[in-house]
């Protein structure tokens, strides 16, 4: 007998690598999404191989979640009783799942031993802080450089506007002071914000939960 994992509606989750994968029940989707959010909050997955390993880990844990639910209730997602032979197969499969889940967590540094190793040396902690401070300083330098360049451009625009008559202003597209304000809005501010946005999506994104 094949155990039903749900046929009324197709339910999908989106993995960290962007792939959509079908799961067996809406409860599985809720569980998966919550676990993915928690793992991303608590750990950094900077390498693509780490993100792929997390995807594999979550699918294994989802399977364990499903088997545990079937074993505890003795019924599938359509409330059909599961034969004893199938339940025994689930119990046997859980042993292999547990071993593989533990191995993947160890590889990803998610186990307690790995966390304790990171925390046991003050030097490692300080080194990590120094790295973050350096990245923050680089971001600030980029912002300062960008704002200086933009201020020079703004100064040039204002100087050109002040030195030009109405006809000359029309030719260069500065018919009024409102055009300068519009340049600030569409050019200067976005250029400055882009530096901060890049920082949030790279270095800062991977800091969450690391210390």
Please give the pLDDT value at position 23: 93
3-state helix, strand, coil in the chain (%, to 5): 75, 5, 20
| Predicted confidence (pLDDT) per residue in 107-147, tens digit | 888 866 655 655 555 566 666 667 777 776 776 677 778 77
The predicted model gives 177-206 an average pLDDT of 73
Two tokens, residue 123? 């030097």
| Predicted confidence (pLDDT) per residue in 32-70, tens digit | 999 999 998 888 887 888 889 999 999 999 999 999 999
Q: How far apart are CA 202 and CA 49, in angstroms?
A: 17
Check whether 184 has a pLDDT greater than 50: yes
- According to DSSP, the residues that pair with 21 across neighbouring strands are 13
Check whether 22 has a pLDDT greater than 90: yes
Q: How far apart are CA 172 and CA 161, in angstroms?
A: 9
pTM above 0.85, yes or no: no
Please give the pLDDT value at position 174: 82
The CA-based angle 91-97-98, given to 5 degrees, is: 90
Higher pLDDT, 177 or 29: 29
């Amino acid at each position: 007998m094949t155990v039903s994992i749900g046929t009324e509606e197709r339910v999908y989750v989106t993995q960290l690598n962007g792939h959509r994968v079908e799961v067996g029940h809406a409860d599985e989707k809720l569980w998966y999404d919550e676990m993915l959010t928690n793992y991303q909050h608590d750990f950094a997955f900077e390498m693509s191989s780490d993100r792929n390993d997390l995807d594999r880990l979550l699918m294994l844990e989802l399977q364990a979640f499903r088997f545990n639910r079937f074993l505890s209730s003795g019924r599938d997602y359509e409330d059909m009783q599961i034969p004893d032979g199938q339940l025994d197969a689930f119990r046997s499969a859980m042993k292999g799942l547990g071993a593989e889940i533990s191995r993947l967590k160890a590889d990803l540094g998610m186990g307690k031993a790995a966390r304790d190793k990171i925390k046991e040396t003050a030097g490692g902690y300080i080194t990590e802080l120094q790295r973050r401070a350096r990245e923050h300083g680089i971001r600030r330098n980029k912002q300062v450089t960008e704002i200086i360049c933009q201020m020079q451009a703004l100064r040039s625009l204002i100087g050109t506007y002040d030195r030009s008559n109405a006809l000359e202003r029309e030719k260069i597209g500065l018919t009024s002071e409102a055009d300068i304000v519009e340049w600030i809005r569409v050019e200067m501010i976005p250029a400055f914000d882009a530096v901060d946005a890049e920082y949030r999506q790279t270095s800062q994104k991977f800091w969450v939960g690391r210390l």
